[in-house]
Amino acid sequence: MNKRVLGIGCVVLAGLLARCEPEKEFFFKDNDSVVFLGDSITQQKLYTTYLEAYTLTRFPDNRFRFRNVGWGGDTAWLRKRFKTDEKALFSATGAVLDEMVEKAVRAGLQRDVLPHKPTAVTVKFGMNDHAYQAFREDICRAYVRSQTEIVNILKAEGARVALLTPQPIEDKPPAEHDKSVKNQSLRKFSDALRDVAAAKGAVYVDQFAPYMKLMLAARAAKPDAMIGGGDAVHPGPAGHTLMAWAILKQLHAPALVSGGGVDVSRWFFRSKVMCQKNCTLSNVKVRNGTVSFDRLDHALPMPVDARAAAALSLAPVNDELNRYMLKVAGLKAARYALTIDGLHVAEFSREELAQGVNLVNYSTPNAVQAMQVLDLVFKKNDVYFERWRKVQLENGPAAKLAELDVRISELEAQIDAARKPRPHRFELTPQT
């Protein structure tokens, strides 16, 4: 193939894909053992499952192990894992505060986190810590010292740490979200967490600000709008999808799933120039105006929970995290029907295809496959929760632990098989 022709053809797609490139390295890496540490919002197993499913589908050749150890009612000083006199904790300073925090945090991490030999940990506390009241300096002092100790211990064990702020509380109307003393307190706790991350070399993820912006925009458009679902503190799937969007962006998750382009104009007719980004296109044919080719993607789209569809109209989730692109230039007819493996997907105009379309907005075989991965991840996380909280921590029988370990391993093997992309036949047929 003429190298100059190929080069020019690739330039056609370059502009489409350039803004999809990640500027920095993604937080989760190959062979990571990931632990999600937090309170009841983490225990919901929603935003954490979405983060996990994104990572597994975007990097199907990498190995990962994810465990969720969220605990309802917990705080940065790990009060659900180690009993602390909180009145004394809040009044303590200096060496006394250090001793109390170090004892509590180390005990909690040694039992629930360090046995997993984590290489990456996300930490999400603050909701219970602020005690659902106006800002208190004494509580924030304990929060800061505890978060600092969490980072100290985890980094000493070789783990990368991401400190996540809480999302804001979404009270029902007529409350003004940003005027609430509880949210004002959470904002101050979040700012204090930013300082901890900067001082200790952890990654800082501010969910509070982007989530608050979405809540205020929704309330401005509709006075009784509620975006999260669930309750004021515990969002439903839509809210957790928005949380995952904010977290993934700040963890530098790549937007691009894959991008493939074909040019079938007369000048390129013999070579049928193709461009591929994280996919492979082959067996291109043009017959009677119909364009067909095989496409093997090297990643799957991020699965979006069917219960969270409302989130897609509130934030640019797909545009910023889920770009599964198709571009076809040089088409003659005004409109084309796209089928994949013989199944109708959508119709596009010649101009839309020349500009590039994001297939994640349509039902494709890859989207169906990704949803199967999400379903398996939910099942695996439910089994692990049963194993950890209901058997291990209750000193249940060893036989039951072994049984659940086998089930977890089976589900993880199914997940690994399900997340491997498969080749598909694309066909664009002119419509009359």
pLDDT beneath 70: ranges in the chain? 1-23, 266-271, 273-274
- Supply the pLDDT for residue 175: 80
- Supply the pLDDT for residue 184: 98
CA distances from 303 to 59, 207, 282, 344, 367 (A): 13, 21, 26, 20, 7
Nearby residues of 245 by Cβ (< 8 Å), 6 or more positions away: 210, 311, 315, 317, 320, 321
Q: Please give the share of the chain, as a percent, with pLDDT higher than 90.
A: 90
Neighbours of 171 (CB within 10 A): 17
Record the pTM. Answer: 0.93
| CA pair distance 412, 24, nearest whole angstrom | 28
Asked if 312 contacts 318 with a C-beta cutoff of 8 angstroms, the reply is yes
| CA pair distance 418, 374, nearest whole angstrom | 10
What angle in degrees, to the nearest 10, is found between the helix axes of 237-250 and 208-221?
Answer: 130
Q: What six digits make up the tokens of 380?
A: 């695996």
Domains of the chain (ranges, CATH numbers): 3-20+255-366+421-430 (no CATH), 32-250 (3.40.50.1110)
Asked if 186 contacts 175 with a C-beta cutoff of 8 angstroms, the reply is no
- Supply the pLDDT for residue 174: 85
- Supply the pLDDT for residue 270: 59
Handedness of CA 384, 386, 387, 389 (dihedral sign): positive
Handedness of CA 352, 358, 360, 366 (dihedral sign): positive
- Supply the pLDDT for residue 271: 54
Best CA proximity match to 232, nearest among 126, 78, 127, 311: 127
- Supply the pLDDT for residue 254: 98
Partner residues linked to 276 by β-bridges:
260
- Supply the pLDDT for residue 3: 42
328-387 residue pLDDT tens: 999 999 999 999 999 999 999 999 999 999 999 999 999 999 999 999 999 999 999 999
Q: What is the CA radius of gyration of the chain?
A: 24
Q: What six digits make up the tokens of 175?
A: 């409350």
Q: What six digits make up the tokens of 268?
A: 């390129």
Q: What six digits make up the tokens of 178?
A: 């940003």
Q: What six digits make up the tokens of 384?
A: 């692990």
Q: What would the DSSP string read from start to end of 119-178?
A: SEEEEE--TTTTTTSS--HHHHHHHHHHHHHHHHHHHHTT-EEEEEPPPPP-PPTT--GG
- Which helix (H) or strand (E) element contains residue 46? none
